[in-house]
């Protein structure tokens, strides 16, 4: 077996990048959208966010102790914080505390540490948790509220927030449907998509005009990560700029979602929502830049990443359009996660001096 040896090979130089730096950059990229949304949804959201992230870190520490692995060294990689953070961003902001804790249990011990810890898990931990919660507690997990920005009238105080988060008592009359959910419900009642889209803004508790701007800025019901697509996109662009992620997965995923939406909308606007609506609603942008791009659970080859992004985009559209759930990003990511190893195997780059099949190039042949 290979081990360390005094005759260790080079190189004796190294890029400045580390796993910690990568995690830190992702958290930094998430920060603007998170802060804005915590402001939008107020104290209950802040409490749930803290509980979820805290539970993930505690769960990770507990698993490391049980496995006899170094605790502080591993915790400092920041991956547990990121998992908790991403999970919190996909939860209804006023959900009770135990949703966050249970989610952390699904995400860390079950989806990550049981596979061997960082780098070993097949499925995205945050998405495993979200899907497990959604399937187990469909009512709680779809109790969305309209934004109640901090320090505005009607926004819950910290005391009221304690009751909402820790006693699970949501005040009457604040729940509202997400855009995707509303359109889906209306369609099942026979209301054409084109009409329900217009109706959506009027029926919601908001006084703002029901246009795409709302979806982009975040003044609409939804989870922390599905409102304000604009700020999430900003974070995504930051990650691209800092070369933490490459364009392959996000562009492919959003592109596929947009193309599918636009094509089918042109074909029948009464049954299919338009492309822009698809990419700006739900957690499409969050999913494209922060979830589908998770290194561990996505392909390592660039061609594989294109296939993966395409798959996530297509499945998200299919689930949103034809399945029982209004939002399909989490399911789409998990389904594609399971294909990652096989995608990697079939999308290996061509080796230098060899054909695609691995045979040496013919001597006289041009490329």
Interacting residues with another protein (CB under 8 A): 1-2, 6-19, 21-22, 73, 77, 79, 117-120, 246, 295-296, 298-302, 305, 344, 348-354, 358, 360-363, 366-367
Task: Identify which of residues 324 and 360 has a Cβ nearer to another protein in the complex.
Answer: 360
Task: Identify which of residues 265 and 298 has a Cβ nearer to another protein in the complex.
Answer: 298
Q: Which of 259, 260, 175, 267 is nearest to 222 (CA)?
A: 175
Minimal distance, residue 250 CB to another protein, in Å: 14
- How far apart are the C-alpha atoms of 257 and 283, rounded to whole Å? 12
Residue-by-residue DSSP string for 167-232: S--PPTT-B---HHHHHHHHHHTT--HHHHHHHHHHHSS--S--SHHHHHHT-SSS-TTTS-HHHH
Residue 74: CB atoms within 10 A of its CB come to 17
Minimal distance, residue 8 CB to another protein, in Å: 6
Residue 310's alpha-carbon distances to 152, 281, 304, 306, in angstroms, are 42, 18, 10, 6
Residue with tokens 């029982």: 324
* Residue 292: partners with Cβ closer than 8 Å, 6 or more residues away: 249, 250, 253, 298, 308, 309, 312, 333, 336
Minimal distance, residue 70 CB to another protein, in Å: 10
Minimal distance, residue 79 CB to another protein, in Å: 8
Residue with tokens 């009457």: 172
Minimal distance, residue 106 CB to another protein, in Å: 21
Task: Identify which of residues 2 and 139 has a Cβ nearer to another protein in the complex.
Answer: 2
Minimal distance, residue 313 CB to another protein, in Å: 19
Task: Identify which of residues 37 and 293 has a Cβ nearer to another protein in the complex.
Answer: 293
Task: Identify which of residues 156 and 236 has a Cβ nearer to another protein in the complex.
Answer: 236
* Residue 211: partners with Cβ closer than 8 Å, 6 or more residues away: 201
Task: Identify which of residues 118 and 280 has a Cβ nearer to another protein in the complex.
Answer: 118
Minimal distance, residue 108 CB to another protein, in Å: 15
Q: Which of 320, 335, 289, 26 is nearest to 184 (CA)?
A: 320
Task: Identify which of residues 62 and 296 has a Cβ nearer to another protein in the complex.
Answer: 296
Minimal distance, residue 245 CB to another protein, in Å: 9
Distance of CA 177 to the CA centre of its chain: 20
Task: Identify which of residues 103 and 299 has a Cβ nearer to another protein in the complex.
Answer: 299
Q: Which helix (H) or strand (E) holds 102?
A: helix 97-105
- How far apart are the C-alpha atoms of 23 and 302, rounded to whole Å? 21
């Amino acid at each position: 077996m290979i081990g360390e040896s005094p005759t260790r090979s080079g190189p004796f130089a190294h890029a400045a990048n580390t796993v910690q730096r990568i995690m830190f950059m992702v958290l930094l990229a998430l920060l603007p959208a998170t802060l804005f949304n915590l402001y939008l949804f107020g104290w209950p959201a802040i409490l749930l966010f803290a509980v979820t992230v805290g539970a993930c870190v505690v769960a990770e520490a507990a698993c490391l102790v049980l496995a006899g692995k170094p605790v502080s060294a591993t915790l400092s990689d920041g991956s547990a914080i990121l998992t908790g953070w991403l999970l919190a961003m996909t939860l209804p902001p006023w959900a009770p505390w135990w949703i966050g804790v249970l989610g952390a249990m699904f995400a860390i011990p079950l989806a990550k540490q049981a596979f061997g810890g960082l780098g070993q898990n097949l499925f995205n931990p945050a998405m495993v948790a979200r899907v497990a919660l959604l399937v187990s507690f469909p009512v709680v997990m779809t109790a969305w509220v309209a934004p109640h920005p901090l320090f505005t009238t009607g926004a819950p105080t910290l005391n009221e927030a304690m009751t909402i988060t820790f006693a699970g008592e949501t005040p009457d009359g604040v729940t509202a449907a997400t855009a995707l959910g509303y359109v889906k419900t209306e369609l099942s009642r026979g209301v054409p998509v084109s009409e329900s889209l217009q109706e959506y803004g009027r029926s919601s508790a908001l006084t703002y005009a029901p246009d795409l701007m709302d979806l982009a800025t975040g003044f609409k019901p939804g989870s922390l990560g599905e409102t304000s697509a604009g700020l999430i996109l900003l974070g995504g662009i930051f990650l691209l700029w800092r070369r933490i992620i490459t364009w392959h997965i996000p562009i492919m995923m959003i592109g596929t979602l947009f193309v599918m939406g636009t094509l089918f909308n042109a074909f029948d606007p009464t049954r299919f929502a338009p492309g822009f609506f698809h990419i700006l609603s739900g957690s499409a942008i969050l999913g494209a830049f922060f979830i589908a791009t998770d290194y561990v659970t996505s392909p390592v080859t660039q061609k594989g990443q294109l296939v993966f992004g395409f798959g996530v985009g297509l499945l998200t559209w299919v689930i949103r359009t034809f399945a029982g759930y209004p939002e399909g990003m989490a399911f789409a990511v998990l389904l594609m996660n399971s294909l990652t190893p096989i995608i990697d195997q079939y999308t290996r780059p061509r080796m230098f001096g060899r054909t695609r099949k691995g045979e040496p190039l013919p001597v006289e042949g041009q490329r």
